[in-house]
Amino acid sequence: MHKIKKIVWLMLVLSLTNVLKANDRSSDIRVDLLIVGGGASGTTAGIQAARMGVKTLIVEETEWLGGMLTSAGVSAIDGNHQMPAGLWAEFRQKLYNHYGGPEAVETGWVSNTLFEPHVGNRILKELATEKNLSIWYNTEWSSVSRNGQQWEVSVKKGKKLHKIRATQIIDATELGDVMAYLKVPSRLGMDSKAEMGEVFAPDNANDIIQDMTYVVVLKDYGAKANKTIRKPAGYDPSVFSCCCDVSDPASHNGPEDNCFQMMQYGRLPNNKYMINWPKCGNDIYLNIIEKSRADRKEALKEAKLHTLRFLYYLQTELGYKNLGIADDEFPTKDKFPMIPYHRESRRLKGIVTMTLGHVSNPYQFNQPLYRTGIAVGDYTIDHHHLKNPSAPAIDFVKIKVPSYNVPLGSLIPEQQDGLIVSEKSISVSNIVNGATRLQPVVLTIGQASGALAAIAIKNKVEPRSVNIREVQQALLQSKAYIMPFIDVKPEDQDFAAIQRIGATGILEGIGISYKWANQTWFYPKREISEYELVKGLQSYYPQLKMFQASGAVLTPEFFVEVLKAIKPEFSYETLATSWAQAGVKATLSPGLALDRRTAAVLIDKYLDPFSVTIDFNGNPK
């Protein structure tokens, strides 16, 4: 009898062992690309990679997609209104379709595009419905390790543990947590003047980051409603006494008090209000970046409390008692957003670092990083430091820059293979982060990181070994900008050709600092001179080093002379034979005055300089 019991016991143990092994096997997931974080950049990275045929998984800690756009409640797009690129354009069009056109989302003066966070989440989930894309919500990662050429990542989805194996990882976390876990070199806080060569930077580096905000979305419950909350602990009305100052910090005007105008700042559709106000509002200084998850959660209680104090001020001192916390926005007990709005995170030390010089003077700076561009932005350099008296007194918003593009090398670590960094954690200076942190830029950075990962995986190379032009071409095929030319839109038949030639630097744009939406113009209808063409081509074609060109307007006759110096077999007959195929509308004649559009199209067609490989500094190899 004892022997039978022992056999039964052994059989039970073996059976249980087999079950556990089976569970272990079932919990092992294999994908090509793992994206940690389903925020603004993680979502677009996943969509782009999946569309390019790469098996992709996003793990996201909340039950929403969109990060700062949705889960943090910052549902007012800052910038890129005139540059609707790629997935940012698709997202915006779906907002237009939902609300009834562009005018229906121009509800607040801070932005041309405002929306309810829950609507943004739904739309992003619609966009993310791709056969190669899986998304795990309510999933936390705990460890990341490299095993040969593969990553092994431990996550907890609900109550179940999983091990995910992937070829590439994109760190799309809000604070650059994956790269920090891996001890990938990064920066935190303000850079010194000497390190970045930026005259506006402080003399000494520090760990000061921008103020954060715990946004709240309010709803108008009707004129007779009284939604006044209980007086929050530590409430002091004097903290908010200057909140009605709506003067523009980019102008030279003095304070302008207008409480009604202040409330219209973040007005959303359907009588809702995004409360994300910097001047004596709910911005707060909390540097929680290096804290643990538990410590961050505890510290953020003060940020929420500070927002409640501001809400109480709005309801009692300013009389907006009819505005209460929206009960139909966020799936949380307190109806606050799931996460705070982080304006700044760790910043990668990438294979290139984008500094103020690259933004303000892209064509004359020491590295032509603009040639490697993969995302564009036009918002001014905007930093929030009003809540930290220790922050150096730098008037960031008055640092004048044109629109710009983001270099591909800023997404790639100096040493670590298999990792791409996205979101607000790319390799830029602290000053430049004030522009690259904005929502549409982060959305397009994410799309670029997805394209970069997909090409690296398909070609079985590391991200640092990809052909930059291949990544850029993939983005152009997705109607995304690589150059910030405001006057040539994606629907233009010559958009891709002009973008490609712009990215070679052969034809340069004209950058202008303009209010809160900076610009770079290509001027496609402007005539081009012989000299401008030859000068632009010389960096790619040494045959033209001694070629003589005047300031006369470029003609087909002279264009043929230039091309014959590069390709002796080229002739006027060659041009005439394929002139119509080039898509040029004007009738060909030897003396026809050519404009910049036509020159770009002809250069792209007959020379294809975009196919010349470049390094991450933008120089031809």
Percent of the chain whose pLDDT exceeds 90: 90
Q: CB neighbours (10 Å) of residue 551? A: 8
- How does strand 419-421 pair with strand 160-171? parallel
What's the pTM value of the predicted model, to 2 decimals? 0.94
Rounded distance between C-alpha atoms, residue 254 and residue 245, angstroms: 9
Interval 477-501: pLDDT, tens = 999 999 999 999 999 999 999 999 9
Interval 234-289: pLDDT, tens = 999 999 999 999 998 877 666 788 999 999 999 999 999 999 999 999 999 999 99
Confidence of residue 10 (pLDDT cuts 50, 70, 90): low
Interval 408-421: pLDDT, tens = 999 999 999 999 99
Instruction: Yes or no: say if 372 and 407 are a contact pair by the CB < 8 Å rule.
Output: yes
Instruction: Please give the pLDDT value at position 16.
Output: 43
Mean pLDDT of 430-438: 98
**What single DSSP character describes residue 491?**
T
Which long-range contacts link 332-335 to residues 24+ away (Cβ below 8 Å)? 334/304
For residue 362, which amino acid is it? P
Q: CB neighbours (10 Å) of residue 16? A: 10
Region class of 270: left (phi > 0), else alpha (psi between -120 and 50), else beta: left
Interval 53-108: pLDDT, tens = 999 999 999 999 999 999 999 999 999 999 998 999 999 999 999 999 999 999 99
Rounded distance between C-alpha atoms, residue 217 and residue 156, angstroms: 30
Instruction: Yes or no: say if 402 and 518 are a contact pair by the CB < 8 Å rule.
Output: yes
Q: Is the pLDDT of residue 21 over 60?
A: no
Instruction: Please give the pLDDT value at position 584.
Output: 84
Instruction: Please give the pLDDT value at position 580.
Output: 84
Interval 559-599: pLDDT, tens = 999 999 999 999 999 999 889 888 888 899 999 999 999 99
Rounded distance between C-alpha atoms, residue 428 and residue 441, angstroms: 13
Interval 296-341: pLDDT, tens = 999 999 999 999 999 999 999 999 999 999 999 999 999 999 999 9
Angle, helices 86-99 vs 117-127, to 10°: value is 120
Region class of 466: left (phi > 0), else alpha (psi between -120 and 50), else beta: beta
Instruction: Please give the pLDDT value at position 249.
Output: 82
Look over the chain and give the mean of its residue pLDDT values, rounded to a whole number.
94
